[in-house]
Each structure stands twice: as C-alpha cells, then as structure tokens.
Amino acid sequence: MNTRYWIPLFLQTVRYSLLVFGLLKLLSLVQSRELFKLADPVLLIPTSYVFSLAAISEIALFFFLGLRKRLSLRLSTTLWFSGILVIYRTFSHLSSANTPCPCLGFFADWLPISRATSERLPLVFLSYYLIGSCLGLIILLKTKENAPIIA
C-alpha cells in the first residue's frame, strides 16, 4: 500500500483512539472514587492529577495530530508520547505489580469484557502506536516522503 495512504490512516486511528481514551479519563474524574485520593505509585502525586494530565495530554495530541504538519513530525510526536507511556507503565508495574491500571477510566467496568482484557486493551493500543510510528518513520526515511499531507 502506498505510504501516502496508510500513514495518514494510521495517524487518524491514533488520533481518535487518543480522543476516546482522553474523554474516558475526563469522564472518570467526575466520579468520586477512592483511587483518585491515593498517591500515584510512580509520580507520588494524587492519582486525580495524573488522570487529569493524561487526559489533557491525549486530547491535546488528538488536536496536534490533526494539524497539517509534516508526517515525520506527527509520527515522531506519536513515538515520543508512546515512549513516555511505556516508561510510565514500566515503572508502574515495577512499583506496584498488584495495582490494576485504570487506563480506560472507570467506564471499563461497564464494558462486557473481563478486567484482564480491559487492562490489556490500552497495552494493545500502545503497541500499535509504537510499532506504527516506528514503521512510518522508517518508511519516510527510506522514501523521503516528508511533505505535508492532509490526514
């Protein structure tokens, strides 16, 4: 498939999945939960602050990826953001392996899927972001197709 088509399609799927994850986090913040009062195991600040920061970052990235910027810049930004999430998830796993990650917000409780699946789903998307942005950047470096494309 021509990179002129699949890379913008990849970026659109990243954009809208980030929007969904960000909105789910924002909606979860409205609910009063004990988890939000606890300190985050990695950043040692209230979990509500971490959720707010993550939601705002995901929604901001949604808007940034929609701009007519160079493909390499949008792919690099996706790779950078994914790298931050991988580092955070790694430290989170190392610091408290028994604590589940509420990455989908508390709306995951309403989905007809198991708890294990709701915890793996964000990891699947994170893998998709990482692999897709790496492949996209490699292809752009090989083909030198770095012109702005409306995605």
Q: Per residue in 72-86, pLDDT tens? A: 899 999 999 999 999
**What are the sequence ranges of the domains in the chain?**
3-143
What is the DSSP-derived secondary structure letter of residue 39? B
Q: How far is the C-alpha of 69 from the C-alpha of 124, rounded, in Å?
A: 26
The per-residue pLDDT for 32 is: 63
pTM, two decimals, is: 0.83
Residue 109: how many other CB atoms lie within 10 Å: 11
**What does the pLDDT average to over 114-120?**
76
Dihedrals φ, ψ of 69, to 5°? -105, 170
The per-residue pLDDT for 90 is: 86
139-to-18, 88, 124, 128 alpha-carbon distances in Å: 23, 28, 22, 16
pLDDT score of 91 more than 90: no
pLDDT score of 97 more than 60: no
Residue-wise pLDDT tens digits, 26-75: 888 887 667 677 777 788 888 888 888 999 999 999 999 998 888 889 99
The per-residue pLDDT for 59 is: 96
HSE at residue 51, side-chain half, CA atoms within 13 A, is 24
Dihedrals φ, ψ of 39, to 5°? -80, 140
